Amino acid sequence: MRKIGMVAMAAIGLGTAVLAHSGVKNPAVKARMDLMGEIKDATGVLGGMAKGEIAFDPARAAAAREALIEQAGRIPPAFEARETDPKSEARDEIWTDWDGFIARARAMEDAAAALNAGSLDGVRAGMGALGQSCGGCHKPYRIDK
């Protein structure tokens, strides 16, 4: 029964993400939102392992870590052009504080690179810095909708 509940919750979460991206007309904004969704997914794998919600698998942890490093490197180019859409969650501060935004993207990349995916303790130890890097960017640069 617990497994069915988890599957149902995952389906609801996925549906919510799809709804959040529905109606986005600007393809550049949609691509940015998709990138952030990929980051959320990879972070969710590592966070789930750290919390004991997902069985620790070093290969899967390493893949999520590598994905985060790659995805963090895609953040600056994804936001380089000041693209807008009514559904966008990007604040103007991204472009008015471009250097700060880039520094925060690099902090995420550094936190992901420093995370030791070879052990559960390493994943747990690295999640704090990774979470701080995400929050450090979302607070000044993301509109809460």
HSE (CB half, 13 Å, CA atoms) of 16? 7
pLDDT tens sequence across 45-72: 999 999 999 999 999 999 999 999 999 9
Residue 126: Cβ-neighbour burial (10 angstroms; 0-12, 13-18, 19+): buried
Are the C-beta atoms of residues 129 and 114 closer than 8 Å to each other? yes
Distance separating alpha carbons of residues 24 and 33, to the nearest angstrom: 9
The pTM assigned to this predicted structure is 0.83
pLDDT tens sequence across 68-113: 999 999 999 999 999 999 999 999 999 999 999 999 999 999 999 9
Are the C-beta atoms of residues 82 and 39 closer than 8 Å to each other? no
Q: Please state the domain count of the chain.
A: 1
CATH code of the domain covering residue 55: 1.20.120.10
Q: Which domain holds residue 39?
A: 2-141
The separation between the first and the last C-alpha atoms of the chain, rounded to the nearest angstrom, is 33
